[in-house]
């Protein structure tokens, strides 16, 4: 039975449309017809060689251009991880490493709510749901000597507290905690000193049902 893949190369191309090499070869052939016959065997060999070389240059240029985009980096991935202080674990896939780097670089620009949301979304990927803010009706603000908090919490305030709502869909407990921890590290560096945050799932904590450290309080 015939095999496929790089260890069993098939004698001709199947699917995927016209290759870059074929496009270049056709363009060169059109130009060559002005002076020589591109169907001559010797000219065909030269034509194919030049087309392959130009296609290779285009491919290198496309790959090089991706080195400035975190989600597409290959060679530059480890370089930017070192530059931004990221420490990927051996268990992380290249996709996870790129997502974490994208979130890190997104947070380098600013730390407004939209930046926090975009950074969290890049790190969590499909498991990101939303950035949750305290309902204005439930805001507790503290103003020294003017507006204390509620009894027992006179020195507290939730005005600058946000929540990052996520899901555990498709994640094991270990993967969930690892993802939560990585986002926690990024937000610790991204958020201003006067802002606090929590990362959790579901909409509210129920005694004997919710899990401390996972479910929103």
Q: pLDDT (tens digit, 9 = 90+) per residue, 14-70?
A: 666 677 777 887 887 887 777 777 677 777 777 788 888 888 888 777 777 777 777
pLDDT in tens, 36-49: 776 777 777 777 88
Residue 144 lies in a domain: yes
Domain count, the chain: 2
Task: Indicate if 147 and 59 belong to the same structural domain.
Answer: no
- How does pLDDT run across 80-100, given as a tens digit for each residue? 888 777 888 888 888 888 888
What is the C-alpha separation between 109 and 103, in angstroms, rounded? Answer: 11
> Is the pTM of the predicted complex or chain greater than 0.75?
no
Residue 158 in any domain: the answer is yes
> 145 in the Ramachandran plot: left (φ > 0), alpha (ψ -120 to 50) or beta?
left
My answer on whether 173 and 126 are in the same domain is yes
Q: Are residues 191 and 118 in the same domain?
A: yes
Q: Which residues pair with 130 in a beta bridge?
A: 165
**Is the domain of 105 the same as that of 35?**
no
pLDDT confidence of residue 13: 62
The helix or strand, by DSSP H or E, that contains position 187, with its residue range, turns out to be helix 173-190
Q: Which residues contact 184 (CB under 8 A, 6 or more apart)?
A: 199
The domain of 46 spans 20-68
Residues 100 and 64 reside in one and the same domain:
no
Q: Which two tokens stand for residue 114?
A: 């939209």
At CA 169, angle to CA 164 and CA 175, rounded to 5?
80
pLDDT of residue 199: 86
132 and 172 share one domain:
yes
Q: Does residue 136 fall inside a structural domain?
A: yes
Q: Are residues 114 and 59 in the same domain?
A: no
155 lies in a domain?
Answer: yes
Residues 109 and 61 occupy one common structural domain? no
SS3 state at 68: helix
In a domain, 137, yes or no: yes
% of the chain residues with pLDDT over 90: 0
Structure tokens at 217: 């309080």
Q: Over range 154-182, report the average pLDDT.
A: 82
**122 domain residue, yes or no:** yes
**Phi, psi for residue 162 in degrees, rounded to 5:** -125, 160
pLDDT at 64: 76
60 and 117 inside one domain: no
112 and 164 together in one domain: yes
Q: Is residue 119 part of a domain?
A: yes
102 shares a domain with 49? no
Q: Are residues 47 and 118 in the same domain?
A: no
Q: Is residue 210 domain-resident?
A: no
């Amino acid at each position: 039975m015939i095999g496929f893949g790089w260890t069993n190369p098939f004698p001709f191309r199947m699917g995927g449309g016209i290759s870059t090499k074929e496009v270049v070869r056709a363009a060169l052939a059109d130009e060559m017809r002005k002076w020589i016959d591109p169907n001559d065997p010797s000219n065909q060999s030269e034509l194919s060689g030049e087309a392959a070389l130009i296609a290779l240059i285009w491919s290198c240029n496309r790959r090089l251009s991706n080195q400035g985009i975190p989600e597409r980096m290959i060679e530059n991935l480890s370089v930017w991880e070192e530059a931004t202080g990221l420490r990927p674990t051996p268990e992380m896939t290249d996709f996870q490493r790129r997502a974490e780097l994208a979130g890190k670089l997104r947070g380098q620009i600013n730390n407004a709510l939209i930046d926090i949301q975009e950074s969290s979304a890049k790190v969590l990927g499909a498991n990101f749901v939303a950035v949750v803010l305290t309902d204005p009706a439930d805001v507790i603000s503290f103003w020294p000597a003017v507006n204390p908090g509620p009894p027992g919490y006179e020195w507290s305030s939730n005005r600058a507290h946000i929540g990052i709502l996520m899901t555990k869909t498709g994640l094991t407990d270990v993967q969930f905690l690892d993802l939560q921890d990585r986002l926690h590290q990024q937000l610790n560096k991204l958020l201003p000193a006067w802002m606090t945050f929590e990362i959790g799932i579901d909409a509210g904590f129920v005694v004997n049902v919710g899990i401390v450290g996972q479910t929103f309080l």
